[in-house]
Structure 1
Amino acid sequence: MGIHLHEYQTTLKSRATLSGFGVHSGKPVSMHFLPADADTGIVFQYAGEGAARRELRALFSEVGSTDLCTMLGDPAGHHVATVEHVMGALLGIGVDNVVIEIDGSEVPILDGSAAAFVEAFDQAGLEMLPVKRRYIHVLKPVRIESGASWAEFRPYVGTRFEVEIDFETPAIGRQSFAADINAETFRKEIARARTFGFMKDVERLWAAGYALGSSLENSVVIGDDGRVINMEGLRYPNEFARHKLLDAMGDLALAGARFIGCFRSYRGGHRLNAAALRRLLSDGSAFQIVETRRERGRSSEMIAVNAPANAPWAL
């Protein structure tokens, strides 16, 4: 029995623009999303005034830090921080190729979710390109552990994420969310889940130069009494777990290709997501690169293909 996968790569039909503030830097930043040719992938271009245009490809090999957020590039030099929400949105609605011009060093936090990115991409529209999309097909379980936390990839017919978290606060506790990923599910169930934090951590983060742009407008904040202090409350009963799933999607989008398989994690985060991805892609027996072939009236069948020597998963 076949599975329903998109056969061809996509890009945006037209330009999209978003502006806001970095959640850690507090600085204003604008982004322009430009249509790109097949096999371009996701590329960030620094477009600030008075500086040479520099590029960073959105690949796990470019990850420079996973502290508090996922950062591409050199933390002490050219970098783009907090890429996980925009990468999750691109993966979630199915955009394979885009050039992102950015005039700062951090993706804007917007409302703390991926909703504004999805809206901008929907307004720009998607265009199918005449080149096959490649997938990373998980062939066997691969697991990584760190203390009580763990993450693993498992074979699965489709693309699925299962995330469970456990916090010692009444507002969160132990909760989970799982979903087979497609554009409709992403829009309805995942995209609107916001980032979250604890009031007790704010002063420490400020002193360290982080969270300078954080506010109740872009974060779910848990007070010292263990309750959500945002007046509007939560968007979903398990919004915290859904946001962790969004983060995981954004981190795994840095593989350079989409997955056919299931990613599961318990008490995970950016560092564990990155480590699990590297563990999978360092084991050539754990995955294969496939394309899909669709026959009239039938769902897609997977066909193994030779990966280019310079492919991001060719470690």
Structure 2
Amino acid sequence: MQTTIKTPVSFEGVGLHSGKPARATILPAAAGHGIAFRRSDMAPDHAMIPALWSNVRQSPLCTLLENRYGATVSTVEHIMAALIGCGIHNAIVEIDGPEIPILDGSSAAFVRGILSRGVQHLGTPVSALRVLETVEVRRGQAWARLTPHDSLMIEFDIEFEDAAIGSQKKTLNMSNGSFVRELSTSRTFCRKADVDMMRSNGLALGGTLENAVVVDGARVLSPGGLRHDDEAVRHKMLDAVGDLGLAGMPILGHYHGFRAGHALTNDLLCELFSRPRSFETLLCDETTAARLPGVGVHWGEIPAVA
């Protein structure tokens, strides 16, 4: 059955790029509503922004959504990943400005908030998108691909010159709550040179060593070091879960990204939906539903973080 959050939960922090205070509240929503963002600082008839691939305005640094009235909300990928990873199909995320708070740079706080309130099962079957044939997009050396699979499989390869990251590869099946256990605590990361460049251009004003992993060559500058030896590739997988959530329904398919980012994953969804024969929508029976992300998640499985 479709789900929502049982009771509201709020999060306060700063926007990663604006540096301004931000407050987001996840509210329950009815079956069939899907996930949407609502700007509380705007007129109600212009404030709703559905969390859909077709509403993405591509940005190099985050996932940004925009509705037909020009209302935007940015840096949605971490809270989207938490909702998808906890198996939430319907929710309204009310936000008091244009950017979701970055918190610690991962999805951990969002996951803890959602699971502390509980998941409400609704009386309507959940639909899923099943990939039927390979779809692939490329930008230079980077590429992203979806192939058929009976659950959501995430595979990612990254390559960075900085020795603190280097080349990393990981594959995980998102069934049985593995997002919460394996990916949710992994933080966004960047090179110190990139931070300096972004700051000089008025970006990353809310970034600190506490809400991002900052590396400089072989050194990890953030206090406490890494949460996982391969935290960087885990975070890229986390981002992919959130960005794929903009399909509007759970995906049954194998996603493989090589040097991919937010824009390329959105390209992939655009390509997928432009080819109707490459997928089908199905009502999930008990066996299929058991393979969706978030099924079987328990509070005690959330990893502790420093």
Distance in 1 (CA, whole Å) between partners of 2:288 and 2:69 is: 45
The match for 1:35 among 28, 33, 48 is 28
Q: Which amino acid aligns with 1:33?
A: I
Q: Is residue 173 of structure 2 the alignment partner of residue 180 of structure 1? A: yes
CA deviation string 1:228-247 (max 9, x = no partner): 11230100110000000011
Distance in 1 (CA, whole Å) between partners of 2:256 and 2:266 is: 13
CA deviation string 1:17-40 (max 9, x = no partner): 111100000000111111110011
Task: Rate the CA distance shift 1:69–1:76 in 2: closer, same or farther, 3 A.
Answer: farther
Distance in 2 (CA, whole Å) between partners of 1:301 and 1:131 is: 13
Higher share in helix: 2
The match for 2:84 among 76, 80, 91 is 91
Task: Rate the CA distance shift 1:75–1:289 in 2: closer, same or farther, 3 A.
Answer: closer
Q: Which amino acid aligns with 1:289?
A: T
Secondary structure, counterpart of 1:243 in structure 2: helix
Task: Rate the CA distance shift 1:17–1:301 in 2: closer, same or farther, 3 A.
Answer: closer
Q: Is residue 120 of structure 2 the alignment partner of residue 139 of structure 1? A: no
Contact conserved, 1:93 with 1:182, CA < 8 A, in 2? no
Secondary structure, counterpart of 2:219 in structure 1: coil
Q: TM-score, normalised by structure 2?
A: 0.91
Query: Aligned residue for 1:230?
Result: 222
Q: Is residue 234 of structure 2 the alignment partner of residue 242 of structure 1? A: yes
Task: Rate the CA distance shift 1:147–1:300 in 2: closer, same or farther, 3 A.
Answer: closer
Q: Is residue 258 of structure 2 the alignment partner of residue 266 of structure 1? A: yes
How big is the shift at 1:183? 5.3
Q: Which amino acid aligns with 2:180?
A: R
Query: Aligned residue for 2:245?
Result: 253
Contact conserved, 1:64 with 1:74, CA < 8 A, in 2? no
Distance in 2 (CA, whole Å) between partners of 1:78 and 1:209 is: 21
How big is the shift at 1:176? 1.2
Contact conserved, 2:189 with 2:213, CA < 8 A, in 1? yes
Task: Rate the CA distance shift 1:272–1:27 in 2: closer, same or farther, 3 A.
Answer: same
CA RMSD, Structure 1 to Structure 2 (Å): 1.7
Q: TM-score, normalised by structure 1?
A: 0.88
How big is the shift at 1:301? 8.4
Q: Is residue 275 of structure 2 the alignment partner of residue 283 of structure 1? A: yes
Q: Is residue 43 of structure 2 the alignment partner of residue 52 of structure 1? A: yes
Contact conserved, 1:92 with 1:182, CA < 8 A, in 2? no
The match for 2:143 among 150, 159, 175 is 150
Distance in 1 (CA, whole Å) between partners of 2:5 and 2:289 is: 26
Q: Which amino acid aligns with 2:257?
A: S
Q: Is residue 66 of structure 2 the alignment partner of residue 82 of structure 1? A: no
Percent of pairs identical after alignment?
40
CA deviation string 1:124-144 (max 9, x = no partner): 100101111111100011111
Contact conserved, 2:49 with 2:67, CA < 8 A, in 1? no
Contact conserved, 1:92 with 1:183, CA < 8 A, in 2? no
Distance in 1 (CA, whole Å) between partners of 2:242 and 2:289 is: 26
Number of aligned residue pairs = 288
CA deviation string 1:267-290 (max 9, x = no partner): 000111110111111101100001
Distance in 2 (CA, whole Å) between partners of 1:286 and 1:265 is: 18
Q: Is residue 150 of structure 2 the alignment partner of residue 165 of structure 1? A: no
In the alignment, structure 1 segments of 5+ residues that lack a partner are: 1-7, 303-315
Task: Rate the CA distance shift 1:124–1:197 in 2: closer, same or farther, 3 A.
Answer: same
Which protein is bigger by CA-based radius of gyration? 1
In the alignment, structure 2 segments of 5+ residues that lack a partner are: 291-306
